[in-house]
Amino acid sequence: DIQMTQSPSSLSASVGDRVTITCRASQSITGYLNWYQQKLGKAPKLVIYAASRLHSGVPSRFSGSGSGTDFTLTISSLQPEDFATYFCQQSYSTPYTFGQGTKLEIK
């Protein structure tokens, strides 16, 4: 199975900050990397798919990059509604696996 490792596990930041979350795969997944946002008590929501494609309705302050084994999710200017947990997921091969999550908290 492909292991997905996110860093950091938690992150404190302020409104307006630029933040970056990293996801590393245990083997190459080319560009089959997706990012989800989950707020407490809610279902996850897709943010980025295919490493860099913005899902419909997602603000343009979110962006994704990377290929092979190393990927990043960047939020250019944090807004209050962005504080949540973010998960990466590889869709290269089954079983599709997720990172352990990065909890983004208000400083």
Interface with another protein by CB under 8 A: which residues?
Answer: 1, 32, 34, 36, 42-46, 49-50, 53, 55, 87, 89, 91, 94-101
Nearer to another protein, 13 or 54 (CB): 54
Least distance from another protein to the Cβ atom of residue 53, Å: 7
Least distance from another protein to the Cβ atom of residue 20, Å: 20
d(CA 61, CA 54): 10
Give the residue from 88, 81, 83 showing the smallest Cα distance to 104: 83
Give the residue from 41, 50, 35 showing the smallest Cα distance to 4: 35
Nearer to another protein, 52 or 74 (CB): 52
Cβ atoms of 7 and 101 within 8 Å: the answer is no
Burial class (CB in 10 A: 0-12, 13-18, 19+), 34: buried
Nearer to another protein, 40 or 107 (CB): 40
Least distance from another protein to the Cβ atom of residue 16, Å: 29
